[in-house]
Each structure stands twice: as C-alpha cells, then as structure tokens.
Amino acid sequence: MKGTFVKLAIVIVFFFSCRKAEQKNNPSVDKEVFVSAVDISSFPEIVKSDPTFFDLKGNPKDFLVILKECGVNTIRLRLWVNPPGENSSFEQVKEFAKALQLKGFKICLSVHYSDTWADPGNQRTPEHWQGLSFSSLKDSVYHYTKSIMTQIKPDYIQIGNEINTGFLHPFGHINNNYSGFIELLKSATLAVREDSSDCKIIIHFAGLRGLDWFFNQVKTIDYDIIGLSYYPIWHGKSLAELKLNMQQLGDLYKKKILIAETAYPFTLAWNDWTNNIVGLSDQLILPEYPALPEGQRNFIHHIKKIVEESPTGLGFCYWGGELIAWKGKQATNGSPWENQALFDFNNLALPVLEVFKEE
C-alpha cells in the first residue's frame, strides 16, 4: 500500500511539473495571450503609394513582416457601414482581414456603426439607416453585425467606437434615449454571441472621466472587455491616474481591460504640409517623455507596464502606426499623424516597436 502511495505521489508531481512546463512554453494554456496590437486601418490606401519600409536594423522589408517580427500579434481595423470611397468599407476590411489572418495576426474590428468617424462628439447614423423606425434600425444593426461575424470572423469586436455618448444618434443616445441605446447594443451583441463563442466583445470608452458612470450604464450588456482610449493630449497627462482607473474598473466590473487606442510623438516636426494633431510641447508629458524616439518608446513601455501590472489588464493597441506622410511632402491633405507613426520620416522602424516584444 505504501508503495502505491509513493507511485501516486510521483505521478502527481510529474503531472504538475509537465503542466507548469506546458504553461511556460504555451501562453494560451490557462492564460490569455497578452494583446500587442496596432491599428493600421489606412494601410490598404497607403500601400498603393508603394512606400519602402525598413526594419530596426535598417533593412528594407515588408511592412507586415516588420510588425510580426517585432511582436505585434493583433491588428485593429476600423469598419464603416457605407463610406463614400473604398477605405474602411466592408469589402476592403474583409479582404485585408483575411490577408492578415493568413499571416497569423488576430483581428480586432472597431465597428463604428457609421459611414464616417465615430467618437464621443460624432455618432452619426449611416445614411441609408436614417429614417428607419427603431424596430427596423435594431434589425439592421443585428443583420449587419451578423454579416461581420460570418464573413470577416474577427477575434475581437468593438460594438461602436468611443461610445461615451452612445452610438447611432439620436436613437442610441445614452442620455437622451437610454433604453434605445441599450436595446441597440443588445441587438449587436446578440448577433455576435449567436455566431461565435470565441469572439470577444469590447465596449469602448474614450478617456478617464466618467468611467464608473458609463460602465455602470452598460452593466446589463453581455460583453467581455473594457476598451479605453488614452491620449495625453485629450485625456490628461497622469499615467498614475490611468493605472488607478484600470485597477478600480477591474475590481468593480470584473472585466479584462484593453488600452484600445494610444500613441505618442517621436518628434514635433512634420514631413508634409498637413497640420499635425500633436505639435506643441505643452501637449507632451514632460520632462519624462520628450518628443524623441526614446520618449515615444518609454511612454509606450510605461503603458504596457501599467497594463501588465493590472490584475485584469489584457493588452494595448497603438493607433495610427502606419500613418507616414504617404501623399508626399507637399500634401496639405496628407497625414496629421506622421510624427506619431511607428516609422520615422525615412520609413525606418522606430525603437518603440521593441516594446511590443518585450517580456
């Protein structure tokens, strides 16, 4: 009998030793893989100008290969319902997403439920959905979301983009029509759940003000991940406040948290004649993070550290990593973001890309 217990003990020790080794070598075992993402929604347009990109060693290389080698594992793409051109259209996003999936990237869709940019100040209902009854609008949201799930098959899906004030205004205005807002959200999430048990649903909020109030408003919604936008220019310069808010949200709502959008400049200069969104020193966090390549790198390193140290932190997504001055140095309608891209003015990969692969 004693020998039997000894053998059993050896088997148990061996099992758990193998289990620990498996967890160490395969992060998907009992642990969700950290999301190291980049939003490159404009890349299908940019690539038409045939730019040459260079990796961290200065070698010319395919843009997506550079991202992959630097540890990017997820690509975020915006999706507009019926835009005036092909950019961010259903067919373009569908085609691009499939190409990215074949290269091993996971796909996070930022579904705007609009024909154009959606954010806290702009949540315009798509043109061909305007004038519908509320019942018909709900039906349109359901079937549109169902089409996304069956044809694009994302790994993560945002139901709306920065929906601080709701989405699909006026029917889905969070203050003026709260019940409509909730019903429209539920119509979209139902379409996701019916199609997939694996796709994670994100509810996306911009900034650090009003977080508790907002996520209390959506507590009846079936979703998985809290998505936050954090840019110092708009959302305050305190990374300590960001960290505290993440910890409090995790404690209150027991949800994974993704920094769905963030970015930082590597210079205050410009590479075309289009006004940049960040161009002044008072828009920076100084002296800690100057507008230099190392300042950009250190800012994102700190963001990643905050997420990693948060009990429910899931990952982060760098917005506009592809937005070089692709229309040329004289363009007045070019990139307002080239000084915050992941590549410098010569399309050389910046040190910030090292952060995506850091352990």
Active site (catalytic) residues = 162, 261
Q: What 3-state class would DSSP assign to 74?
A: strand
Which residue has 């008072």 as its token pair? 282
The tokens for 186 are: 């539920």
The tokens for 5 are: 């217990």
- Angle, alpha carbons 229-284-335 (nearest 5°): 70
Q: Which of 216, 245, 219, 200 is nearest to 74 (CA)?
A: 200
- Give alpha helix (H) positions in 108-196: 134-151, 178-195
Q: Which amino acid is at 192?
A: V
Contact 247, 308 (CB under 8 A): no
The tokens for 112 are: 């705007």
Q: What are the residues facing 39 on neighbouring strands?
A: 76, 319
Q: Which of 346, 357, 322, 337 is nearest to 264 (CA)?
A: 337
